[in-house]
Chain A
Amino acid sequence: MTVNLGKDLTGLEHLTPEQIRLILDTAEPFKEVSERPIKKVPALRGKTIVNLFFEASTRTRISFEFAEKRLSADTVNVAATGSSVSKGETLVDTAKNLEAMRIDMVVIRHPSSGAAGFLGQRIRSNVINAGDGKHEHPTQALLDLLTIRDKHGKIAGLKVCLVGDVLHSRVARSNIWGLTKLGAQVAVCGPYTLMPRGIEELGVQFFPRIEEAIEWADVLNILRLQLERMEKGFIPSLREYYRVWGVTPERLERSPRAITIMHPGPMNRGVEIDSRVADGPHSVILDQVTNGVAVRMAVLYLLAGGRPELADAAKRGGGAE
């Protein structure tokens, strides 16, 4: 059976292990494209992609933009501030207006959970979720999977622990789906106040102390403390957090293994991660960033024109339905 991705990528929850592997395998040749003297292939020539960012983003937006440009797509960036969104236009109206200008794909980041799926059901263009509220951030999890596979040669059987602010983290949710589907053992570790209720139902272990997580794990994916999403009272203070939960060389030394260190960025150095760990020999944090472009190229390539009936319908000037 041939594997296909369908129209949108809204999350990893509903993808099969084969679909996830297809994306990772397709990302491999795209790594090489970024090493060429001319970092560009014509695969998406003539496609128009809108990056619709309703939330601040540097890394993800630039990574998507590089991916789009290296595939020769034409891109437009729309930020919520300074656009008609700040005049009260609804998400669907914004997207429908963009579609009226004949676009092919929308990359969306939005503060509301489920926004990408909601939009995908209402417009004809392919929709890619670049992070929606506390729901999912699928391309981040995919680049994490690719980086783990690069470093360890496999994912199945590895012990991966997500550390810190799991409650506010869409990265954690997407990672849990992706890792468990590919056969990794997954754990979470962090203060009770930053753990979502019922997290064990996703098939993950919970470690109440960072020392236990370090003793157990092959890989630590250290999440950013999302201060902007927090009201008061989740943690006593940043210094207190570092003292109890910070990943430090002293703590890592106790592990018999060389633990791979990951962080989705942007890092709060000296809060969730010590600088000596972030810049240490087992850190793959910058490899994650490099792989991000390749993974996003793979997703764009696989979604574009992936449904011939849609392409035909678009040529006739109508919708697929």
Chain B
Amino acid sequence: MPPKSERTILLDARAMSRALQRMAVEVAELAHGTADLVLIGIQRRGVELAERIAKMIEKDEGVAVPRGALDITLYRDDLETVGPKPVIGETRLPVDLTGKHAVIVDDVLYTGRTVRAALDELADFGRPKRISLCVLVDRGGRELPIQADVVGKVVKTGPGDRVEVQVEELDGSDQVDLVR
């Protein structure tokens, strides 16, 4: 019999909202305003989080922040080993990225391989002057030299653990759980 898994809440809805507020402020600070800022969410939950952060920045700064969505499936380095193919989501970039400050937004940063793929894919869409990384949860366990610039919450996890992010738009409620 497999050992019983234990679920703890890392962020509830209010804590997640506060974290996103702070992240929005930090992103605007990092970009020195919003002039060249583009937020790019990674499918799937990164897209929703980028949308929220963009709205918060828009509210604070009073200007429109362009945002896009990126599906990195076709840039993965493990297509040989995954059995059934993952469903490919939409990739939609609102503007030419050349000269922009692109901020990649994702829910969880773990091995860094998704971000590596995202960097490769963005390079095929132009030459941003800068690319930053913004994640809701950094769970450690990197396999590549990649780090986030803006982080909602840092948590130490082991390889068998799972960090589950729920967002209201897709899952009905906002919450981040650690399952171990």
Contacts and interface: CB of A to CB of B under 8 A. Distances in A.
B37 to A, nearest CB: 21
A36 interface: yes
Contact of A37 (B80, B90, B126): B126
Nearest to A310: B80
Contact of B80 (A2, A33, A305): A305
Q: How large is the interface on A (under 10, 10 to 19, 20 to 34, 35 or more residues)?
A: 20 to 34
A40 B74 CA distance: 10
Contacts of B79: 43, 304-305
Interface string A36-48: 1110111100000
Contacts of A301: 74, 85
A42 B80 contact: no
Contact of B125 (A26, A29, A37, A302): A37
A71 B76 CA distance: 13
B85 A302 contact: yes
Contacts of A250: none
Given A308-B81, A311-B81, A38 B88 contact: no
A79 B126 CA distance: 38
Given A40-B124, A43-B79, A305-B79, A29 B85 contact: no
Contact of A311 (B73, B75, B80, B90): B80
Contacts of A311: 80-81
A26 B84 contact: no
A42 B120 contact: yes
Contact of B84 (A3, A30, A43, A304): A3
Nearest to A315: B80
B90 A32 contact: yes
B83 interface: yes
A2 B71 contact: no
Contacts of A40: 124
A179 to B, nearest CB: 24
B88 A26 contact: yes
Contacts of A3: 84
B26 to A, nearest CB: 31
A67 to B, nearest CB: 13
Nearest to B124: A38
Contacts of B71: 29
A29 B90 contact: yes
B116 to A, nearest CB: 12
A41 B89 contact: no
Interface in A60-78: 71
A3 B91 CA distance: 23
A306 B120 contact: no
A32 B74 CA distance: 12
